[in-house]
Structure 1
Amino acid sequence: MVYSISIFVSETQSAMKFGGKIGIVGAGALGAFYGARLYRAGNDVHFLVRTGFELIREHGYEIRSCDGDFTIKPPVYSAPEDLGKCDLILVGLKAFANHFLPEVLGPLATPNTVVVTLQNGLGNEETIAEALVKCGVHRSVAEASKQIIGGTAFLCSNRVAPNVIIHSAHGFVRLAEFQGSPKERTFAVAQLFLDAGISCEVRESLAAIRWEKLVWNIPFNGLGVAAHQADTAVILADPELRTTAVEIMKEVIAAAKVNGVDLDERLVADLIGKTEIMGHYKSSMQIDFEAGRPLEVEAILGEPVRRAQQKGFSAPRMHMLYALVRRMDQLRQSNLENSQSRSS
């Protein structure tokens, strides 16, 4: 079910106002873009920055967007202790960096803090709940889970310098509570995005929006690496790769179904159409691979395969893509470590 934000505002307008402190954790291509849009809209947004801190503190962020270029100079911090407690935390970390979450969230969160994750793949909400317990903010995973909102962002953006984000297409966000049905706060968070000029929907099922995003993420992230520097235009222009992408998309829909999520098969054509207007867009996984960084292999490729197989569905195409990219990631990281060892 998709909820109408405009109707909800007219009925509970006072409940829709969110004036608290917002912390951005993972200020990369996704986190910095949405954080910048929220900041430009007048919200109290603070950025936790690990790469390019001095540059960003001095010059701010430059957003080169298909919706219009702008620059901001928001408050930035190199340590979570300096940023301090937040009312809302927006997590944009790459999933392979989730092991940092306990040390990051501890100084930022209170028992009343709402944590919104727009990370890719499956399993991030569970990891955040465990991190909130490990750092002592909550006493149990069940308690922590009530403070988490999951979301997906269909966004074409790349960080070309520590403080420069290029936004080339799309950007809509979908939100759902990790536990239970949407609450007033869910709509309040959605309204933040809407007021910042970002299309945003509230959904009943987090699982549905996660699997829906995976219908695109699995083939285009995976093939972007496995097919050797294959951006979206390359994949769609090659008949064999295009057919492979479509077949994987259909298989993801089947995997979602055995996990209790019914997705319309017309989603495949819809997402192919959205991809065709992206041009030569590189997925985040392709960019990370080419830059020698770790990949979100498990969250985007591995966990969906495991959940499908736990339900008795073998997901052969998804499994093969996962195996290939996992091996390529392992070899790349091993080669980098050996190279660094020799140079030192």
Structure 2
Amino acid sequence: MAPTVLVHGSGAIGSIYVYLLIKAGFSVTAVCRSNHDAAKANGFLIDSEKYGNNLRAHPKIVRTSAEAAQQGGVFDYIIVTSKAIPEDKTSELIAPAVTEGRTCIALFQNGVGIEEEFAERFPHNPLLSVVVYLPSTQIEPAHMRMGNFEMLQIGSFPASAYKEKVGVKQAADTFVEMLQKAGSNAKWFDDVQEMRWRKLMLNASWNPVCALSLSRDVAFLASAPDADREVGALMMEVVHIAQALGYSSVNEETQVEQLKRAKDRVGGEGIEPSMLVDALNGRRMEVETILGNAVRTGRKAGVAVPKLELLYALAKALDESMLYRQPGQSLKGTETRAERGKTNAS
């Protein structure tokens, strides 16, 4: 019997894996929020340079994981593709659909330090950490436009769980096999955290830089003579943290390669990182998991990260303005203090 899969967060990323898994014959339920009505009526429409155009996927559509459970859903896997925002308490949102000891939870999310929330909430379930490389945008509700590249880097959390925790190896091996069968370039890593820090070189530099400047990467590079040097310096602070943690493949050579990829795009339209898309649409951003956790890890390791600290403060302020600011007005400061007062009181 084919595994049952719940995709929590069926937007630009999640919908692609909904399509691939359905194509491979798996039973898929998709949790949708803003695109619920469109997906419920017509399914997902995907135009992809890699997989083809005018692709349709018709999973079972629900608004919440609780609804999926109430309808009798028992899931072998839950794929979490929603944004990694601590205040959302995503572990609680998926809890109704988690069967203790059975459901394997796979986190398709950005940043570092994202796994602890789920490990604490579900100590008896296999937990996989997944680094996603997939250029995809939701151009209208339930309609995705995807580029020509896709790759997943997968590992258990913690890394030792693959060999030491009952059920993790079988769940992980099956998960990788089913994604490969579906057409994903999925790869297993004994310690995927090193891959998370490699990707963080991109996320912690380009995401906030583009969001704060409201510019794509190539536009920012063209904005000032030293723009590339500043981005490179941000990447190097991530390198220094990763090296302090023992991740030797995150190094200056890798940093040069990553920066060169953006430089090679000069002359084209550039890329819109997720934080820029969120800023343009007035949505919350993954500030804590991309910047905050990196800054805190750097401080704990005794690594100086002044540029990341500045970006963290600026991005945090921008994120709060998304949450509290009234149209056409700046934040006065009373809004955030009042909200924090409510939180402290509760």
Asked if structure 1 preserves the Cα contact closer than 8 Å seen for 2:91 and 2:117, the reply is no
Q: Distance in 1 between matches of 2:255 and 2:148?
A: 18
2:129 to 150, 175, 183: 150
Asked if structure 2 preserves the Cα contact closer than 8 Å seen for 1:60 and 1:72, the reply is yes
Q: How does 1:10-159 map to 2 (within 5 A)?
A: 19-67=2-50, 68-69=52-53, 70-84=55-69, 85-96=74-85, 99-111=88-100, 112-132=102-122, 143-144=123-124, 147-159=126-138
1:268 corresponds in structure 2 to 255
Give the secondary structure class of the aligned counterpart of 1:130. Answer: helix
2:278 corresponds in structure 1 to 288
Q: Distance in 2 between matches of 1:306 and 1:218?
A: 13
Asked if structure 2 preserves the Cα contact closer than 8 Å seen for 1:181 and 1:204, the reply is no
Q: Distance in 2 between matches of 1:39 and 1:243?
A: 44
Q: Distance in 1 between matches of 2:245 and 2:195?
A: 13
Is there any run of 5+ residues in structure 1 with no aligned partner, and where?
Answer: 1-17, 133-142, 340-344
Distance 1:127 1:163, change over 3 A: same
1:245 corresponds in structure 2 to 231
Distance 1:338 1:95, change over 3 A: farther
1:211 corresponds in structure 2 to 197
Work out the percentage of aligned pairs sharing the same amino acid.
24
Match for 2:295: what amino acid?
Answer: V
Distance 1:93 1:243, change over 3 A: same
Displacement after TM superposition at 1:337 (Å): 8.1
1:322 to 291, 297, 312: 312
* Deviation sequence 1:111-147 (CA, Å, 0-9, x none): 1110000111122211122343xxxxxxxxxx34x51
Q: Distance in 1 between matches of 2:86 and 2:240?
A: 29
Match for 1:65: what amino acid?
Answer: S
State yes or no: 1:202 paired with 2:192: no
Distance 1:327 1:175, change over 3 A: same
1:166 corresponds in structure 2 to 145
Give the secondary structure class of the aligned counterpart of 1:282. Answer: coil
Displacement after TM superposition at 1:100 (Å): 3.9
Asked if structure 1 preserves the Cα contact closer than 8 Å seen for 2:21 and 2:182, the reply is yes
Distance 1:98 1:185, change over 3 A: farther
Q: Distance in 1 between matches of 2:269 and 2:38?
A: 30
Displacement after TM superposition at 1:236 (Å): 3.8
Deviates most, 302-311 or 258-267: 258-267
Displacement after TM superposition at 1:102 (Å): 4.2
Distance 1:331 1:52, change over 3 A: closer
Report how many aligned residue pairs link the two structures.
Answer: 310
Q: Distance in 1 between matches of 2:49 and 2:308?
A: 33
State yes or no: 1:176 paired with 2:145: no
Give the secondary structure class of the aligned counterpart of 1:166. Answer: strand
Q: Distance in 2 between matches of 1:154 and 1:98?
A: 25
Distance 1:333 1:197, change over 3 A: same
2:339 corresponds in structure 1 to none
- Root mean square deviation, CA, Å: 2.1
Asked if structure 2 preserves the Cα contact closer than 8 Å seen for 1:101 and 1:131, the reply is no
Match for 1:256: what amino acid?
Answer: A
Q: Distance in 1 between matches of 2:203 and 2:279?
A: 15
Displacement after TM superposition at 1:176 (Å): 0.6
Match for 1:193: what amino acid?
Answer: L
TM-score by length of 1: 0.84
Asked if structure 1 preserves the Cα contact closer than 8 Å seen for 2:8 and 2:65, the reply is no
Distance 1:258 1:43, change over 3 A: same
Q: Distance in 2 between matches of 1:211 and 1:248?
A: 13
1:15 corresponds in structure 2 to none
Deviates most, 99-108 or 30-39: 99-108
Displacement after TM superposition at 1:248 (Å): 1.2
Q: How does 1:219-238 map to 2 (within 5 A)?
A: 219-226=205-212, 228-238=213-223
Asked if structure 1 preserves the Cα contact closer than 8 Å seen for 2:243 and 2:251, the reply is no
Q: Distance in 2 between matches of 1:62 and 1:210?
A: 30
Give the secondary structure class of the aligned counterpart of 1:336. Answer: coil
Q: Distance in 2 between matches of 1:43 and 1:131?
A: 27
Asked if structure 1 preserves the Cα contact closer than 8 Å seen for 2:295 and 2:308, the reply is yes
Distance 1:250 1:103, change over 3 A: closer
Displacement after TM superposition at 1:79 (Å): 2.9
Match for 2:290: what amino acid?
Answer: I
Displacement after TM superposition at 1:290 (Å): 1.1
Distance 1:204 1:336, change over 3 A: farther
Match for 2:252: what amino acid?
Answer: E
Asked if structure 2 preserves the Cα contact closer than 8 Å seen for 1:157 and 1:169, the reply is no
